[in-house]
C-alpha cells in the first residue's frame, strides 16, 4: 500500500477526502498541524514560526530568508521521518509539497475546482459574497506563493502530482475511491528503490539542518542525496569558493549516514570578486495595492507570467499593516482608494520605510498629483492603462535602486 499526500485548493473538501481515505485504507491521517507540533517538539522550535513558514502570507516569500530556510529544513526533516514511520499514511496539507517526487510509493494527489464552485462552498459555510471572494483570493495567493517557493511552478500544474482530481466533475466520494484504488495498486507498492529514495530525502534534510544550524543560507546551498553520497549545489555570491566548499563538505561529512560529500556550482553562482552578473533579476518582493480587485488580480497574473511574484492588497490600511511585518522591495500603488488614499500611503511609506521603491499606477491622476508624488519620493508615476512591458521595465529599475540601497 502507498503513502498518500493530498494538496487541495481553498474551499475544496481536501480534509473530508483525506479523512475518509485514511478510514478506508485503515491508516493514520496526518496534516500540517500535526507536522508543526511534531517539529516543534522534536527540534525545540517555536510552533508559531513553523506554522508561519508552512502557511506563508501571499506573495511575500519569493526570496527565502535565512530563518525561513532553517525552519523549512526542519519541516522537511520532520516530514521525512513522518513518512518513514508507517507503511501506509495519508497526509493532507501544504506540507505535501515538501516531499520530492522521486519516492515512487508516495501517491501525490491534488484536489482542484473552478472558482465559482468554490465560492458557492464558501457561501455555504456562512460567508458573505464579499468575504468569500476575499478568502478565496487569499487562499489561492497563498497556495501560489508556497508552491512557487518550493517548486517554481503553478500549484495546479498536473505534472506536480500523480493524480489531479477536478471537482465537481468527480464527487468527493469518487475522489476517495480513486485515491484508495490507486494507493492499493501494485505499481505503488513499496520497493527497495522507493525506500532508498525516502531515506535519501531524510538524509538530504538532515544535511540541510546541519548547514542551517551552522549559519548557511538555504536555498543558496541546495542539498541532494543518493545512497549516502551528498552533493551540495552553491547558488550564491562567493568570494572564496574553495574555502566555502571545504566548510560545506566538512559539515556534511559530520552527519551520520553521509559516506561522501561533494559540491558544485549552480546557475545562481558567480564569483563576486571577478565580475558582476550583467542580467538583473526581476523584483523578488513586490506588493500591488489597488481597490479594483479584478484589475489588480489580473495584473498579478500577468506579472507572474514574467516570473514576478506579487502580494496583493486592496486598500492602504492593509498595505501599511503588511509593511509592518515585512518590507517589499517594490510597491505598485493606486492613488484613488477608499479610506487612506494613495498619496497618504506614499507619504507614510517614504517616512517609515524609505528603502521601499514606490511606483504610482493610477487612472485618475493629474499633472499636480504627479508632481506631488515625485516630490514625496515615488520612483515613477504611470497612468492606467499601462503597457505591461513598460511596467515590468520600470519595476526592474526600481529593484536595482532598492538593492543598491542595501549594499
Q: 285-312, pLDDT tens digit by residue?
A: 789 999 988 888 888 877 876 767 788 8
Read off the pLDDT band of 406 (50, 70, 90): low
Using the predicted structure, report yes or no on whether residue 275 has a pLDDT greater than 50. Answer: no
Assign 387 to helix, strand or coil.
Answer: coil
pLDDT, residue 276, reads 32
What's the CATH code, domain 3-187?
A: 3.40.50.300
The larger pLDDT score, comparing residue 252 to residue 240, is at: 252
**What is the layout of strands, in order, in the sheet containing 311-313?**
311-313, 286-289, 330-333, 357-362, 380-383
Read off the pLDDT band of 321 (50, 70, 90): confident
The larger pLDDT score, comparing residue 151 to residue 240, is at: 151
pTM confidence score: 0.68
d(CA 53, CA 67): 9
Q: Which of 32-36, 169-173, 313-317 is predicted least confidently?
A: 313-317
What's the CATH code, domain 286-406?
A: 3.40.50.2300
Using the predicted structure, report yes or no on whether residue 102 has a pLDDT greater than 70. Answer: yes
Q: Which of 41-45, 201-205, 265-269, 360-364 is predicted least confidently?
A: 265-269
Question: Hey, where are the domains in the chain?
Answer: 3-187, 192-271, 286-406
Cβ pair 346, 333 in contact under 8 A: yes
d(CA 129, CA 139): 15
d(CA 111, CA 113): 7
- Say which residues have a Cβ less than 8 Å from residue 179's Cβ, sequence separation at least 6: 4, 6, 17, 21, 107, 109, 163, 165
Please name which of 203, 81, 60, 66 lies closest in space to residue 145, comparing C-alpha atoms. 60
pLDDT, residue 278, reads 31
The reply to whether 192-271 shares the fold of 3-187 is no
Q: What is the DSSP letter of 158?
A: G
The domain defined by 192-271 folds into 3.30.1340
Interval 57-71 mean pLDDT: 67
Amino acid at each position: 500500500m502507498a503513502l498518500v499526500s493530498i494538496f487541495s485548493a481553498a474551499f475544496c473538501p481536501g480534509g473530508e477526502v483525506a479523512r475518509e481515505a485514511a478510514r478506508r485504507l485503515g491508516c493514520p491521517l496526518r496534516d500540517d498541524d500535526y507536522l508543526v507540533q511534531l517539529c516543534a517538539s522534536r527540534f525545540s522550535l517555536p510552533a508559531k514560526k513553523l506554522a508561519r513558514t508552512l502557511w506563508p502570507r501571499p506573495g511575500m516569500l519569493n526570496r527565502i530568508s535565512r530563518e525561513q530556510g532553517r525552519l523549512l529544513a526542519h519541516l522537511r526533516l520532520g516530514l521525512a521521518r513522518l513518512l518513514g514511520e508507517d507503511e501506509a499514511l495519508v497526509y493532507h496539507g501544504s506540507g505535501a509539497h515538501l516531499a520530492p517526487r522521486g519516492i515512487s510509493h508516495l501517491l501525490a494527489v491534488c484536489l482542484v475546482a473552478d472558482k465559482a464552485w468554490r465560492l458557492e462552498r464558501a457561501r455555504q459555510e456562512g460567508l458573505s459574497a464579499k468575504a468569500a471572494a476575499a478568502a478565496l483570493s487569499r487562499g489561492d495567493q497563498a497556495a501560489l506563493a508556497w508552491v512557487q517557493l518550493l517548486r517554481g511552478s503553478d500549484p495546479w500544474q498536473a505534472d506536480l502530482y500523480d493524480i489531479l482530481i477536478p471537482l465537481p466533475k468527480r464527487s468527493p466520494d469518487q475522489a476517495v475511491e480513486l485515491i484508495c484504488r490507486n494507493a492499493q495498486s501494485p505499481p505503488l507498492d513499496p520497493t527497495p528503490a522507493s525506500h532508498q529514495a525516502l531515506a535519501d530525502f531524510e538524509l538530504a534534510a538532515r544535511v540541510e539542518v546541519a548547514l542551517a544550524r551552522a549559519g548557511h543560507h538555504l536555498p543558496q546551498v541546495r542539498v541532494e542525496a543518493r545512497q549516502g553520497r551528498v552533493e551540495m549545489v552553491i547558488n550564491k555570491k562567493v568570494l572564496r569558493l574553495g574555502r566555502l566548499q571545504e566548510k560545506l563538505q566538512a559539515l556534511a561529512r559530520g552527519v551520520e549516514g553521509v559516506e561522501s560529500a561533494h559540491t558544485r556550482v549552480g546557475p545562481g553562482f558567480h564569483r563576486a570578486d571577478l565580475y558582476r552578473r550583467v542580467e538583473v533579476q526581476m523584483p523578488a518582493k513586490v506588493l500591488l495595492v489597488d481597490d479594483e480587485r479584478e484589475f489588480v488580480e489580473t495584473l498579478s497574473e500577468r506579472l507572474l507570467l514574467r516570473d514576478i511574484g506579487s502580494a496583493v492588497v486592496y486598500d492602504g490600511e492593509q498595505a501599511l499593516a503588511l509593511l509592518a511585518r515585512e518590507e517589499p522591495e517594490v510597491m505598485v500603488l493606486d492613488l484613488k482608494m477608499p479610506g487612506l488614499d494613495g498619496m497618504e500611503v506614499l507619504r507614510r511609506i517614504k517616512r517609515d520605510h524609505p528603502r521601499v521603491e514606490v511606483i504610482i499606477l493610477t487612472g485618475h491622476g493629474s499633472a499636480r498629483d504627479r508632481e506631488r508624488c515625485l516630490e514625496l519620493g515615488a520612483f515613477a508615476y504611470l497612468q492606467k492603462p499601462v503597457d505591461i512591458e513598460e511596467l515590468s521595465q520600470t519595476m526592474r529599475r526600481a529593484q536595482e535602486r532598492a538593492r543598491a540601497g542595501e549594499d
